[in-house]
Amino acid sequence: MPNYQVTITDGTGSVAMKAGTYRVSASAAPGYDLSSLSPTTFTATASAGSQAFTLSASGTLNMIFNETGAAGGTPVTEGTVVMTDSTGNTQYGTAVTIDSSGTAVFNNVPYGDGTEPFTLCFKQLTTDDNHNIHVGVVTVSMESQTNTVYVENTPIATQDFSLSDANYSGLSLTATLDFTENA
């Protein structure tokens, strides 16, 4: 029975194969656990077919959310963040919780071999009541199996308001203004 090698580019590849059952293994996938390939067999038939395979990445990214965006800043105490595309509009996987020390841990992320880092993007979805959410996409260059990045969440700022009578300037006014966040 012949052997085949299929180059996968941007998630897809194809080759003409003789009908039969084949053992499948993966190679040349930096940042991935090659033993995690699933399934490990494929049966080709006399007619066209297809098969989806999966590999699990083996990297870990620690994202630390705090007031400085550097080591030692006051941490955000809760929130969520998700992996996205570069626009922040397409989400990959489920959101990860930011813990009370400001850390969100992404396991099983891909990484490069140092000469070709793997670029990942993330978007913060929520933060605690004392901080502003990070605006935009956070781009991370995964150059090794473990990486730590810091993301700034500025403290909320005091907003000052005044209220006056619309018809009688200088008239003393007491009231309560209720603000509801738009979703």
What pTM was computed for the model? Answer: 0.84
Of 34-38, 66-70, 111-115, minimum mean pLDDT range: 111-115
- Residue extents of the structural domains in the chain: 1-57, 59-152
CATH number for the domain whose boundaries are 59-152: 2.60.40.10
Give residue 182's pLDDT band: very low, low, confident or very high (50, 70, 90).
confident
Q: Are 44 and 1 in contact (CB under 8 A)?
A: no
C-alpha to C-alpha distances, 122 to 14, 28, 118, 150, nearest whole angstrom:
31, 26, 13, 12
